[in-house]
Amino acid sequence: MRVTVNRKAHFNSAHRLYRKDWSFEKNDAIFGKCNNPNYHGHNYELIASVTGEIDQETGYVIDVKILKDIIKAEVEDAFDHKNLNLDVPEFKDLNPTAENIVVVIYNKIKAKLDANLDLEVTLYETPRNFVSYSGN
C-alpha cells in the first residue's frame, strides 16, 4: 500500500529574472518587472510530498522529522533571506524562475531520500502562481 506524506515549508528570497547574454531591452520585454536590476522578493511556500510503502515495523512511509530536517538543511537554510542570483550557487548560471527553483529543490531533497521513495515538490511563488515537479 503506497501512501503520500506531505510537509509544508516557507522561505523568503529575492531574485531577478534575466539572461546575461540578452540586452536590457530584450530582458525587459520578456521578464518585465521581474527583470528589476535591484531584484524583487517572494514569500515562497513549499510542499514536499513523499510517496512510498508503509514500513510494517514503524508504520511510517518516512519519519516526518527526517523530512523536516532535510527540508531545513537543503532548502530553508540554503535559500531563506538570500538573493538567489547572488547567494545560491545553483543559480550562478541558471535563471531563478519558479520552474528552475522547483527542479533545484527537488534534486536537493531527492538526493537525501531513500531510493525507493518518490518525491513531488510544489512551490508557490505567490498564492495563485505555483509549479510542481516530480522528476519527469
Catalytic site positions = 34, 81, 125
Question: CA–CA separation, 84 vs 94, rounded Å?
Answer: 10
Place of cell 536537493: 108
Classify strands 130-133 and 118-124 as parallel, antiparallel or unpaired: antiparallel
Question: CA–CA separation, 48 vs 133, rounded Å?
Answer: 10
- Do residues 121 and 48 lie in contact, with contact meaning Cβ atoms separated by under 8 Å? yes
